[in-house]
């Protein structure tokens, strides 16, 4: 029974995971910068490569990264758009081309015009240095402006400027006259032959399995989440290094919240309406409105400030702790610095735990069988601990899964403030330096962790409570 | 019944206080530009009277232009006035007081012209008045709650209501309707979001998208009416909505929002809020779904069905008003959660433009700093705490009034 349940659960988890991966992939496509150019080092100011070698370097890097393939299995776009746009190097060029295309709808004409602009630049490069330096510079300015300009009026203005430049120099003329002529002609053609209708016509084209998403998915399923853009370390290595801090931290908070929350919840439920219950309730209500980052910050300010004499916390101690530090060293250096983070991640969990335990215990205490047990004359101790408590505890087992996203989210801010080199801090640092593979790796990993948590919780629940029929969980939903 | 509910809502002292608090919060948030502004309310320059504060508002909306004497409309403290009357706080959130650079404590002696110019709550690291920042932060927080809950409320009410009311078997659609849906949804996406219109912004695109969807729906109804729609099948909308909720709930919101905030070309609190709404509707949908599940089994709904009322009318006029209470509870709690989430993101320095002041961004200045600028942590923290507490109390009040 458990196996068939497990199988059915997996049938749900796998599509969910695929969906999340598609979502993450979609996000990665929205990034403003051009990852290929950035990784090939072509964005640097001091890059002195000429146009042709830049293009070549770009294409090489794109081929290595697999970015010279279509993005997805199919595309759904206006019929005017080409399906091979991904082959054109440089994101800015693709952007300019699309902006030009949006005004005309005629892809061959747009591409032909753009090629003449690039040809003019190539011609300028090959042209010999003559006395007509000024003219050459002027034409180069115009060509550069045209390369990234897509506005009709602005292009017109630049081309009129080009017309005005008279190329008298006989050495320069054979190189440039042709190119400028072609440019003017191609522009005229582009203006005269719009195909606006194609922009409003939907087209759906299949692009095959050899695409970027497919590759990425294949690797991710093999456990290869890619490598960091910054230090080329595998993403998974970086995450697991962070987990060495995040996991113990999260599990400690989870354990503490259970150890403290369950007795408090039971006590409150047994003495409902008493002063203890009221005070506990309002304290938790106030604590729930207290942002954990605020508490973290205030604690940090108080306990690192030498003026107050309470500075037993050092903000950098954890970074200096080597991987193979001895236990004694670890206790001595890390523990005092981990106390505050644990405090800050525990109290939000504790609030949830006490509330849940209080309500489930109250429910049990109000139920028929407890009244029967009392009527039979069983001692209060037996009624509460042997009868009610056991039944109230069962649901708590599964509820740890609901806390997992809280733990991960809580770790981000608390680790950042206390400078714990865990996964949350890794996420924040990676966002700062735009190390996207790491960011997306963490996103997928935390979703996976939550799903596994839910699965384990369901199985545990069935194990402790034989009444639960896993076969029927779905039909009642 | 409504009156009784209201009475029970009023009975608790905490709820009444929270209600007053809500009014104060809204008052401060709405009037922030009038309460804290660097431009004088009235001033006299060379025997001419000007109203720079109101003039400035008209100028911001392009309804008026500045008078020559007031140009340039910056550095208001440097201008020569015959006399000037300022509003309550004579600083805007972005005004830099060069005499109070580098975080001046509220208790320190300050070099100011008159007592009105004192920084009552101190200044931040770049010499901006904290009181003005907090007031405008309240405005941001209000917008945060409003925008995110508008999106989340719409989605949660719609999807949760449909899932709860119809369940897996209640919604019957014919083959023709299914086909129309499969045809019109891609078309709506294409004409709404993929076609490069030369003019018209996001509002126009959303309008096109919705119009096409409604057209498809109407066409389906017409087909059904004339009987050419083919056999009907149950559409498992409940399972579908539950599955989507399950997927969204496995992604930790904070991490997803951080990733989205970092991919945005132009960071803005409003984008973040729309995203918060797009993720947080699941909580509202759960509440509303549970409530609709309960309501649909009540006898008066059966009575309405027997009377032959249309489904839309039953949902809108009969079921919805009863689901309103739980909806309000989840709305109040959702606003509190959104404000917390936004301040968390802005304390990390993501998603907020440098010139936008939020409570979180004021505190963000303290990160990595070792001086004990307590006022920069205390006052914004208190503002967040009180606002979240306010909405939590309101939510709790409604819940208790409903008798849960």
Same domain, B149 and B285: yes
- pLDDT for the residue numbered A474: 41
Mutate which of A431, A441, A456, A474 to disrupt the B interface (most B C-beta within 10 Å)?
A431
- For residue B178, what are the domain limits? 172-234
Answer whether residue A460 is part of any domain: yes
Question: With an 8 Å Cβ cutoff, is A75 touching chain B?
Answer: no
Same domain, B1 and B63: no
Task: Say yes or no to pLDDT of B91 above 90.
Answer: no
Same domain, B250 and B274: yes
With vertex at residue A392, the alpha carbon angle to CA A390 and CA A394, rounded to the nearest 5 degrees, is: 75
- pLDDT for the residue numbered A473: 45
- pLDDT for the residue numbered B4: 76
Nearest to B377 among A298, A307, A442 (CB): A298
Same domain, A445 and A331: yes
What is the tens place of the pLDDT at every residue in B254-297?
888 888 877 777 777 777 788 888 888 998 999 889 888 888 88
Contacts of B358 (CB under 8 A, 6+ apart): B137, B140, B141, B269, B342, B343, B346, B352
Give the sheet arrangement for strand B83-85, strand by strand.
Answer: B48-50, B42-45, B83-85
Same domain, B294 and B400: yes
Contact A68, A87 (CB under 8 A): yes
Find chain B residues with C-beta within 8 A of A307's C-beta. Answer: 372
Contact A120, A183 (CB under 8 A): yes
Region of poorest pLDDT, from A297-311, B159-173, B241-255:
A297-311
Task: Say yes or no to pLDDT of A464 above 80.
Answer: no
Answer whether residue A245 is part of any domain: yes
245-264 of B, contacting A, C-beta below 8 A: 246-247, 249-256, 258-260, 262-263
Same domain, A200 and A247: no
Answer whether residue B97 is part of any domain: no
- pLDDT for the residue numbered B112: 73
pLDDT tier at A45, thresholds 50, 70, 90: low
- pLDDT for the residue numbered A321: 64
182-241 of B, contacting A, C-beta below 8 A: 186-187, 189-191, 194-196, 198, 238-239
Same domain, A290 and A160: no
Asked if the Cβ–Cβ distance from B194 to A78 is below 8 Å, we say: yes
Same domain, A247 and A194: no
Nearest to A416 among B187, B348, B393 (CB): B348
The distance from CA B349 to its chain's CA centroid, rounded to whole angstroms, is 20
221-280 of A, contacting B, C-beta below 8 A: none
Same domain, B61 and B206: no
With vertex at residue A210, the alpha carbon angle to CA A206 and CA A216, rounded to the nearest 5 degrees, is: 115
Burial B85-108 (b: 16+ CB within 10 A, else e): ebbebbbbbbbbbeebeebbbbee
Answer whether residue A14 is part of any domain: no
Sign of CA dihedral B349, B353, B355, B360: negative
Distance (Å, whole) CA A333 – CA B78:
54
Answer whether residue A30 is part of any domain: no
187-216 of A, contacting B, C-beta below 8 A: 199-200, 202, 204
Same domain, B293 and B219: no
Domain count, chain B: 3
Contact B363, B1 (CB under 8 A): no
- For residue A134, what are the domain limits? 75-206
The helix (run of H) or strand (run of E) holding residue B234 is strand B232-234
Largest CA distance in chain A: 117
Same domain, B308 and B360: yes
Distance (Å, whole) CA A294 – CA B343:
10
Nearest to B384 among A204, A291, A408 (CB): A291
- pLDDT for the residue numbered A267: 92
Q: Within 10 A of A138 (CB to CB), how many other CB atoms are there?
A: 15
- pLDDT for the residue numbered A476: 38
Same domain, B241 and B280: yes
The DSSP letter of residue A319 is H
Distance (Å, whole) CA B347 – CA B137:
13
* Burial class (CB within 10 angstroms; exposed 0-12, middle 13-18, buried 19+) of A82: middle
Same domain, B46 and B150: no
336-395 of A, contacting B, C-beta below 8 A: none
Same domain, A408 and A290: yes
ipTM above 0.90, yes or no: no
Of B56, B86, B116, which one is at a domain's C-terminal end?
Answer: B86
Q: Within 10 A of A379 (CB to CB), how many other CB atoms are there?
A: 11
- pLDDT for the residue numbered A469: 56
Same domain, B279 and B360: yes
Give the mean pLDDT of B209-222: 91
Asked if the Cβ–Cβ distance from A78 to B259 is below 8 Å, we say: no
Nearest to B242 among A76, A417, A477 (CB): A477
Same domain, B48 and B195: no
Same domain, A305 and A427: yes
CATH code of the domain containing B132: 1.10.3720.10
Distance (Å, whole) CA B170 – CA B163:
9
Answer whether residue A417 is part of any domain: yes
Same domain, A326 and A258: yes
Answer whether residue A274 is part of any domain: yes
Shortest Cα distance, chain A CAs vs residue B205, angstroms: 14
Domain count, chain A: 2
Same domain, B206 and B283: no
- Which of A258, A262, A346, A332 shows the shortest CA–CA distance to A296? A346
- pLDDT for the residue numbered A322: 62
Answer whether residue A277 is part of any domain: yes
Same domain, A329 and A190: no
Asked if the Cβ–Cβ distance from A305 to B256 is below 8 Å, we say: no
Find chain A residues with C-beta within 8 A of B340's C-beta. Answer: 291
Interhelix angle for A235-270 vs A436-464, to 10°? 40
């Amino acid at each position: 029974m458990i196996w068939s349940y497990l199988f059915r659960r997996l049938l749900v988890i796998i599509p969910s995971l695929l969906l999340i991966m598609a979502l993450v992939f979609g996000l990665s496509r929205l990034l403003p910068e051009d990852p290929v150019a950035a990784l090939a080092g072509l964005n640097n100011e001091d890059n002195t490569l000429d146009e042709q070698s830049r293009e070549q370097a770009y294409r090489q890097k794109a081929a290595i990264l697999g970015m010279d393939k279509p993005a997805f299995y199919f595309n759904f776009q206006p019929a005017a758009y080409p399906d091979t746009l991904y082959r054109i190097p440089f994101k800015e060029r693709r952007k300019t081309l699309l902006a030009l295309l949006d005004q005309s709808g005629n892809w061959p004409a747009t591409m032909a015009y753009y090629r003449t602009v690039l040809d003019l630049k190539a011609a300028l490069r090959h042209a010999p240095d003559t006395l007509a330096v000024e003219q050459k510079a002027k034409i180069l300015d115009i060509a550069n402006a045209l390369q990234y300009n897509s506005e009709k009026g602005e292009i017109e203005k630049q081309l009129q400027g080009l017309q005005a430049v008279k190329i008298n120099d006989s050495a320069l003329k054979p190189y440039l006259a042709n190119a400028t002529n072609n440019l003017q002609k191609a522009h005229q053609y582009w203006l005269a032959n719009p195909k606006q209708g194609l922009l409003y016509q939907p087209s759906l084209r299949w692009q095959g399995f050899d695409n970027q998403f497919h590759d990425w998915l294949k690797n991710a399923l093999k456990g290869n989440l890619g490598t960091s853009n910054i230090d080329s370390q595998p993403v998974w290595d970086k995450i697991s290094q962070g987990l060495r801090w995040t996991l113990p931290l999260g599990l400690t908070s989870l354990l503490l919240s259970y150890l403290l929350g369950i007795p408090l919840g039971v006590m409150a439920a047994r003495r409902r309406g008493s002063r203890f219950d009221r005070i506990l309730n309002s304290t938790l209500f106030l604590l729930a409105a207290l942002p954990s980052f605020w508490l973290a910050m205030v604690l940090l300010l108080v306990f690192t400030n030498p003026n107050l004499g309470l500075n037993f916390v050092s903000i950098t101690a954890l970074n200096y702790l080597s991987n193979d530090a001895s236990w004694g060293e670890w206790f001595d250096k890390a523990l005092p610095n981990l106390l505050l983070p644990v405090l800050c991640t525990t109290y939000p969990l504790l609030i949830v735990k006490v509330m849940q335990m209080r309500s489930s215990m109250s429910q049990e205490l109000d139920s028929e069988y407890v009244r029967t047990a009392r009527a039979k004359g069983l001692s209060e101790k037996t009624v509460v601990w042997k009868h009610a408590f056991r039944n109230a505890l069962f649901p708590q087992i599964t509820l740890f899964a609901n806390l997992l996203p809280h733990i991960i989210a809580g770790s981000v801010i608390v680790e950042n403030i206390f400078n714990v080199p865990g996964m949350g801090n890794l996420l924040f640092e990676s966002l700062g330096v735009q190390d996207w593979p790491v960011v997306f790796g963490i996103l997928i990993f935390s979703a996976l962790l939550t799903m596994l948590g839910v699965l384990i919780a369901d199985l545990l629940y069935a194990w402790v409570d034989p009444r639960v029929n896993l076969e029927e969980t779905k039909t009642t939903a | 019944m409504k009156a009784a509910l209201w009475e029970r809502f009023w009975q608790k002292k905490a709820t009444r206080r929270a209600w007053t608090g809500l009014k104060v919060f809204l008052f401060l948030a709405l009037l922030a530009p009038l309460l804290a502004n660097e431009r004088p309310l009235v001033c006299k320059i060379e025997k001419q009277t000007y109203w720079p504060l109101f003039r400035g508002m008209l100028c911001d909306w392009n309804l008026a232009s500045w008078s020559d004497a007031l140009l340039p409309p910056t550095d208001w403290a440097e201008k020569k006035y015959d006399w000037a009357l300022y509003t309550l706080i004579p600083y805007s959130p972005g005004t830099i007081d060069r005499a109070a650079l580098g975080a001046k404590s509220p208790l320190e002696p300050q070099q100011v012209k008159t007592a009105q110019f004192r920084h009552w709550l101190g200044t931040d690291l770049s010499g901006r008045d904290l009181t003005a920042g907090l007031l405008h932060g309240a405005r941001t927080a209000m917008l945060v709650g409003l925008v995110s809950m508008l999106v989340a409320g719409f989605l949660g009410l719609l999807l949760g209501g449909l899932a709860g009311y119809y369940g897996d078997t209640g919604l019957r659609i014919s083959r023709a309707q299914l086909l129309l849906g499969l045809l019109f949804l891609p078309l709506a996406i294409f004409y709404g979001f993929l076609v490069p219109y030369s003019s018209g912004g996001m509002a126009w695109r959303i309008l096109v998208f919705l119009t096409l969807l409604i057209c498809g729906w109407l066409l389906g109804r017409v087909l059904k009416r004339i009987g050419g729609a083919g056999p009907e099948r149950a559409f498992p909308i409940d399972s579908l909505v539950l599955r989507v909720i399950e997927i969204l709930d496995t992604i930790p919101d904070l991490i997803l929002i951080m990733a989205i905030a970092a991919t945005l070309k132009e960071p803005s609190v409003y984008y973040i809020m729309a995203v918060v709404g797009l993720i947080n509707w699941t909580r509202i949908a759960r509440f509303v779904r549970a409530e609709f599940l309960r309501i649909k089994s009540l006898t008066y709904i059966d009575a309405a069905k027997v009377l032959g009322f249309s489904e839309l009318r039953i949902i809108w006029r009969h079921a919805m008003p009863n689901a309103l209470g739980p909806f309000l509870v989840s709305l109040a709690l959702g606003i509190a959660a959104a404000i917390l989430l936004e301040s968390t993101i802005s304390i990390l320095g993501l998603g907020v433009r440098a010139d936008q002041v939020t409570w979180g961004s004021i505190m963000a200045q303290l990160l990595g700093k070792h001086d004990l600028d307590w006022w920069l942590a205390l006052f914004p923290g208190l503002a967040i705490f009180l606002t979240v507490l306010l909405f939590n109390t309101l939510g709790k009040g409604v819940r208790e009034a409903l008798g849960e």
